Structure 1
Amino acid sequence: MLNLISGEFLKLKRSTIFRVSLLGSLVTPFMMLLSLFKAKYSDPVELVTFAKLLDQSMVYVTLLFGILLSILILAYLFNREYTEHTLKSVMSKSISKTEFLVSKYITFILWATLLTIISWIGVVFVGFIGGATEFSINVLAHSFVNFMKANLLTVLFITPVICITLWFKNIIPAIIYGITIVLGNLMIFGDKLAAFYPGTAIYLLTADQIGFNEVYNCDPVIPLVIIVLMAIIGFILSWQYFERADVTL
């Protein structure tokens, strides 16, 4: 298994999409930099704190660009052998289909985590150059934990993308799925139903929201269960389909 994961990263090092994804992880810091400049231009007296800056960045990470980037790299990983017509040669090396799927999934988790860390570091750097105030280690540690929780929940939430990609053998349906999720986020965010929609629930569960039960009349365990069930069902469906599918490429 370790050799499979190492092989995946060796192939990623030579791929363009890996470098593109690294640039993509800087979109959130760039947007926060623009937000800082806008705030200073609108009200030069107003001070933006590190806590506020990092909390606002969670909107882009969980609701907008971050989830699209995660879906793109997940679809790429599971579609690469179909695109390069190398699946048959890979599967002929005494590798079970289960090992193949699990190694891909672990590679995705590590890749997504790396991008999340880069994005977090970028936002912190923007805070320094943009003049954010009230810097403290506690604020940084708290926000880092929030970023990591958001990354984990996003990874679980988008697991059904694996099945979509394997079924269509193309990344376009996965991208459409991702755009649909983001549009749903924009439509439902701020509504009482936001706690039950996994896309927005990730933000509500990981950002510093006060009074989750009181505001949304929902126990936080409910959206967590929904997200975990989506991950389990998504992976089982992916595994069943891949086990039954003929390897023809």
Structure 2
Amino acid sequence: MNKIIICVPIEIKKFLSSKTLLITMIGLMILPFVGGFFMIILKDPIVAQKMGIISTKAQILGSNADWPSYFSLLTQGISLGGLVVFGFVTSWVFGREYSDRTIKDLLALPISRNVIVISKFIVIFLWCMVLSRFVFLMGIFVGKIIRLPGWSLEVLFSSSIIFSICSLLTILLSTPVAFFASFGRGYLSPLGFMILTLILSQIVAAMGFGEFFPWSIPALASGIAGKGSAVLTNTSIVIVFLTYLIGLISTMFWWRYADQD
């Protein structure tokens, strides 16, 4: 435990000194502004029809430019965009050790390899949670600026709970990315894995089996399939948690037993 307390600040310092911090923040900051744009268009259906845009999204949101619809859009965005951004964070934290050729120096330290891996996952979790909270707070700011109707503490509380759950589920799905970053010794393999899972999540969900495919579950829980579809079953939760454990354990085993030369 003491070694983890020592390692985590070191990993945080490495992360804060990188451009990944700014890149991921800017990447997710787009979500509330795009959501605000949708809401502005939905306020005037005639303009939306003339522009010929977001018709599908308007149907999903029920054509309502209000706070519940806006929060729903943010939740859907973090469930899909988070797969890429959170995965990118994970890919950098683990992949940089190989691309910068610091892996041998890191493993030469008198610290357990499991401690190193756990410390990295702690940093990833903390930053991804900060990013998700940042998106939600920025969403409130944008929503206030465009003066969306339907604001209430009840809507804020319920939307915050759903947003937090979907964010957490998406963050948990980042552990397999760490394994592929370690296995592929860099960034290419995890990025390819992220693209593949993102594509498969859409295909599997369209086939009606999304609740059994880990990377489809956060988006389905956000209600992306339509109003009233945001259902999170115990089976889906177990599947996400098992995927998290598989990614975590496989990464720890790889760092402990694989040849790092």
How far did residue 203 of structure 1 move? 2.5
Task: Provide the TM-score with structure 2 as the length reference.
Answer: 0.84
Q: Confirm whether residue 27 of structure 1 aligns to residue 30 of structure 2.
A: yes
Counterpart in the other structure of 2:67: 50
- Work out whether 1:233 is the aligned partner of 2:250: no
Contact 2:181 2:190 in 1 (8 A): yes
Q: Which amino acid aligns with 2:33?
A: F
SS of residue in 2 equivalent to 1:192: coil
Post-superposition offset of 1:235: 1.6
Query: Could you tell me which residue of structure 1 aligns to residue 214 of structure 2?
Result: 198
Alignment of 1:86-101 (within 5 A): 86-101=102-117
Letter in 1 for 2:130: L
| Paired residues for 1:10-25 under 5 Å | 10-25=13-28
Q: Assess, with a 3 A threshold, how the Cα gap between structure 1 residues 212 and 247 changes in structure 2: closer, same or farther.
A: closer
The superposition leaves residues 109-152 of structure 1 with CA deviations (integer Å, 9 ceiling, x where unpaired) of 00100110011111111211122111112222222222221122
Number of equivalenced pairs: 242
Instruction: Give the whole-Å Cα distance in 1 for the aligned partners of 2:247 and 2:82.
Output: 20
Q: Structure 1, unaligned stretches of length 5 or more?
A: 214-218
Sequence identity (%)? 21
Which amino acid in structure 1 is aligned with residue 149 of structure 2?
T
Letter in 2 for 1:62: S
Instruction: Give, in whole Å, the separation in 1 of the partners of 2:156 and 2:206.
Output: 26
Stretches of structure 2 lacking an aligned partner (at least 5 in a row): 48-62
Matches within 5 A, 1:1-249: 1-43=4-46, 48-63=65-80, 65-189=81-205, 191-207=207-223, 210=228, 220-248=233-261
Task: Give the corresponding residue for 1:216.
Answer: none
Alpha carbon RMSD of aligned pairs, Å?
2.3
Q: 1:38 to 1:96 in 2, by over 3 A?
A: same
Q: What are the Cα deviations for residues 226-246 of structure 1, in whole angstroms up to 9, with x where unaligned?
A: 111111122221111211123
Where 1:131 maps in the other structure, the secondary structure is coil
**1:74 CA drift (Å):** 0.4
Secondary structure in 2 aligned to 1:135? coil
Report which stretch shifted further, 16-25 or 204-213: 204-213
CA distance in 1, matches of 2:247, 2:21: 25
Query: How much does 1:175 deviate?
Result: 1.3
The range that moved more, 156-165 or 94-103, is 156-165
